[in-house]
Every structure is written in C-alpha cells, then in structure tokens.
Structure 1
Amino acid sequence: MVTADSTQIQPETLARELVDVASERKASDIVLLDLRGVSIIADFFVICSGSSERQINALSQALVERADEMGVPTRRIEGSSASGWVLIDFLDVMVHIFAPEQRAFYKLDELWKEAKPLLLIQ
C-alpha cells in the first residue's frame, strides 16, 4: 500500500490514475500490468510509449506531478528522455516510458507476459 502522511492510496488506484495521465498526454500503447503474485518488485507496471524526447520528458513530469498531488512520493527516476527509456518508481507502482525503438528492443511487455494485463490502450 502506498502511503503519504495520513492518506493511503491503493496501488491499483494510483496505477489507473497514472494510466489516465499518460492517456491525456497522448502516450501510445499504454499497458497496465498486474504483477501481484508474479513479482516482489512492484504490484503494477504502467508501460507506455512517447513519440519524441520532448513527449517522454513531458510524460515523466506530468506523472510525477500527479502522484505528488495524490500525496505519493516518487522513490526514484532512472534513465532519461534522451536514452529513450525512463523508469519512475512509485514503490508499488512502476512506470516505464519508452521511445518506440527501445520498447521494441527491450520487449518489456513480453518479459512480463505472466503478469495479468488489466488495461490496454492503443
């Protein structure tokens, strides 16, 4: 359970809200994976693609801002828009923002194929 001060945000609630933000910001190929029972590193992955460095950067900023508004801390951010892969760790929810080329190369969706897909937005 993600906690912030006296407020408790359920991980799935946070993950779905982050999917909404990504969709509003025109991310493509958005996937929400339920990792409960499959992995101990997180309960949910949000995976999406941005079409340019600028969009990946804007998506990263918007997601961090929305989580902050919900009282959820950002544990860490790895990668960069220039590298084509940004990982944002919100403890129980991890967001992966890819450039299309890096997403095709790393095939994270396939790597976690045992996870249950809860949402797919093309």
Structure 2
Amino acid sequence: MTRVEQEVRLTPHEIARVAAESAADALASDIQVLDLTALTPFFDLFVVCTADNTRQLRALVSHITNALDDVGVNVHAVEGEAESGWVILDYGSVMIHLFTPEQRAYYRLEDHWAAAQRVLVIQ
C-alpha cells in the first residue's frame, strides 16, 4: 500500500508530541505543550518553543514541518517570518509557536494562557 493509499490520522496530542520532539531534536529550548480544550473552541493544543536566533528559527520550521509531513500530517498555513522572531505553524487543532527569546518574552503566551494545562514540557 502506498503512502497515498494509507490515511494517517493522528490525534492532536500525537501531532503536538511529534512537533515537540522534533523541536527538541533541532535544539529548540523551553518547549511546552499547552492543552487549551477547556479554554477555547478554536484550538486544542499550543506547542510553544524558543530558537536561539533567526537562523535556528528557520531550521525549526523546516524540521518540524518535515517531521509531521513524514507521518502524513500537512501544515495548513505558515504565518510570520523568521526575521520577525515569531513563526506560527497551523495544523488545525494544533498551533505551533516558534519564537526567538526576545519575542517569546514580549508576547508571553504562557502567561496569557496560564490556565492551560501543560501536558508536556521539554527544557
């Protein structure tokens, strides 16, 4: 059976785990997966992580999208540019936020979503 014939269905938690592990493999830091199911109808999970610089941020985008593509999950949209310090990968129910340290400190998503349960943390 070819990959096209196989329909891969990962749960949002599985997508988030693949993304977080891929980010860790690419040396991202302070990786957190936040469960937002009780807080908003728009998303199930946020994956939030930090890249040391814009070059690493570009590499993270590539590494994560390739890892998810390899398991049959395609990105719906990519918002932002590495040069801005914040890139969002939209996987429907899972949003992946990739930041430089300065932008992560400025936007403080974890503070905004403080009531969210942290289901995975990779330092």
Into which bin does the TM-score normalised by the smaller protein fall? over 0.9
The equivalent of 1:22 in structure 2 is: 23
Q: Deviation of residue 43 (structure 1)?
A: 0.7
The one-character-per-residue Cα deviations of 1:68-115 (angstroms, maximum 9, x if unpaired) are 111112110001110000000011111000000010001111111111
Question: Counterpart of 1:9 in 2: which secondary structure?
Answer: coil
Matched to 1:35, the amino acid is L
Which residue of structure 1 lines up, in the alignment, with residue 3 of structure 2? none
User: Given residue 86 of structure 1, which amino acid in structure 2 is its aligned partner?
Assistant: V
In structure 2, what residue type is equivalent to 1:38?
Answer: L
Q: Where does residue 56 of structure 1 map in the other structure?
A: 57
- The residue number in structure 1 matching 2:39 is 38
Q: Please say which structure displays the higher CA radius of gyration.
A: 2
* Runs ≥4 residues deviating over 2 A: none
Which SS does the other structure have where 1:8 is aligned? coil
The structure in which a higher percent of residues are strand is: 1
Question: Which aligned pairs between 1:64-79 and structure 2 lie closer than 5 A?
Answer: 64-79=65-80
2:48 maps to what in 1?
47
- Give the share of equivalent positions with the same residue, in percent: 38
Q: Name stretches of at least 5 consecutive residues in structure 2 with no aligned partner.
A: 1-5
With normalisation by structure 1, the TM-score equals: 0.93
Match of 2:100 in 1: 99
Report the TM-score when normalising by structure 2.
0.92
Task: Give structure 1 stretches of 5+ with no counterpart.
Answer: none
In structure 2, distance between residues paired with 1:107 and 1:56: 17
Deviation digits for residues 36-80 of structure 1 (CA, Å, limit 9, x no counterpart):
121122111000000011100000011111111111121100011
Aligned residue number for residue 89 of structure 2:
88
